[in-house]
A and B are shown apart, each in its own frame.
Chain A
Amino acid sequence: SDDGKQKLNDEDTLDETEYALWKIRELKRIKQFNDEKNKYEIEKAEIDRRRNLTDMQRIQEDFKLGSDKTKMEDKTKYV
């Protein structure tokens, strides 16, 4: 197992290829962070929208999406 240690060199060269690779990683990080943040904000906006609906509107929307209670009850029937 110590062979592996000798094979891998951890001396720093700090040359341009290293810098370029780092730059790619950094850009990926920024992009991933922004993507996840956007996802969270979209979800939050959706929750806010749902909260502002009246009861009737919400039930209608549930019915459209197929997540209303009547269908849920069907699933739990005994055989």
Chain B
Amino acid sequence: MDDEQQEKQHLANDGRQMTLIDQIIRNKVFNCRYWKEDCFGLTAVTLVDKACKLDCVGATYSGTGKPVPFLCLLMKLLQINPDKEIIIEFLKSKDYKYISALAMFYIRLTSKPKEAYPTIEQFYADFRKIRIRNLDGTFAIWHMDELAEKLLSEEIIFGISLPRFQKRWILEELGQLEPRKSVLEEELQNQEQEQVQVAEQQNQEKDQEQGQEQ
């Protein structure tokens, strides 16, 4: 079964997963060597081996728009459409950060905002380094939290257009989401309390001084 047939079959099954990536980019992936050679007949299990070897995040690069292996595997994930539990296992992987990044991308593309926000926001507390490949072929270093933030706040990332999400506060207003609790929240509250205490002490000292003067 060739790629186009499989794609049509998925469309027929209400999958529509692969159409999440624009057609121009999709065709580039289908025609690239990595897709034909390494991604043929992958399942959710065998895909893990390939994903372990990833060394950068990105979509396409150079003038002709060569696909990065990361994008090929993302397409494969969209094609095989694995269970949610498998994706969550991918997210949890601690040794291989690029698998987490892959799962993050997949969740951003396929889930509803209600589920995507909390799952991706877990990575706001994660400051592991990842190598990314820009559209012009150059490399850069980002951190996981930066990637998570960009996924949630921007509409286009690496030239892939992401499904539109409502802003977080609107979902909070509708009661679909709980307010986000940052890891730093406790620290901030403690600081505020300390500041209040210090201010109170200063006020008391001033009062005492004034009392003495009078």
On whether the beta carbons of B139 and A5 are closer than 8 Å, the reply is yes
Are B140 and A29 neighbours in the complex by a CB distance under 8 Å?
no
Asked whether any CB of chain B lies closer than 8 Å to the CB of A18, the reply is yes
Interface flag for A19 (CB, 8 Å):
yes
Contacts A5-B55, A25-B145, A40-B169 known; A30 to B182 CB distance under 8 Å?
A: yes
Segment from B6-14, B121-129, B192-200 that makes contact with A? B121-129
Chain A residues within 8 Å of B145, by CB: 22, 25-26
B163 within 8 A of A: no
How many Å from the CB of B158 to the closest CB on chain A? 16
Q: How far is the CB of B33 from chain A (nearest CB, A)?
A: 16
Given contacts A4-B138, A5-B55, A8-B141, contact A29 B124 (CB under 8 A): yes
Which single member of B62, B130, B170 contacts A10 (CB below 8 Å)?
B130
Closest to B126 in A: A22
A8 touches B184 (CB 8 A): no
If A11-B129, A21-B127, A22-B127 touch, whether A29 touches B149 (CB-CB below 8 Å) is: yes
In B58-98, the 8 Å CB interface with A consists of 61-62
Whether the pair A12, B124 counts as a contact (CB closer than 8 A) is no
Q: Which residues of B contact A (CB under 8 A)?
A: 55-56, 61-62, 124-125, 127-131, 137-141, 143, 145-146, 149, 167-170, 180, 182-184
> Considering only CB atoms and an 8 Å cut-off, how many residues of chain A contact the other chain?
24
Question: Is B143 in contact with A22, judged by CB distance below 8 angstroms?
Answer: yes
Of the A-B pairs whose beta carbons lie under 8 Å apart in the complex, a sample of 8, sorted by A's number, is A1-B137, A4-B139, A7-B139, A12-B128, A25-B149, A26-B124, A29-B149, A40-B167
Chain A residues with CB under 8 Å of B167's CB are 36, 40
Which single member of A10, A19, A30 contacts B129 (CB below 8 Å)? A10
Q: Are A8 and B131 in contact (CB under 8 A)?
A: yes
CB distance from A46 to the nearest CB of B (A): 16
Minimal beta-carbon separation of B125 from chain A (angstroms)? 8
A residues with CB within 8 A of B: 1, 4-5, 7-12, 14, 18-19, 21-23, 25-27, 29-30, 33, 36-37, 40
Bound-complex Cα distance A40 to B167 (A) = 10
A21 partner residues in chain B, CB cutoff 8 A: 127
Residues of A within 8 A of B180 (CB): 33
Assembly CA distance A33 to B181 (angstroms):
12
CA distance A7 to B131 in the complex (A): 11
By beta carbon, the residue of chain A nearest B128 is A12
Chain B residues positioned under 8 Å from A11 (CB to CB): 129
- Name the distance in Å between B90's Cβ and chain A's nearest Cβ: 19
- Tell whether, in the assembled complex, residue B139 and residue A26 are in contact, meaning their CB atoms are under 8 Å apart: no
Whose C-beta in chain B lies nearest to the C-beta of A22?
B127
Indicate whether A12 sits within 8 Å of B129 (C-beta atoms), given known contacts A4-B139, A22-B145, A30-B182.
yes
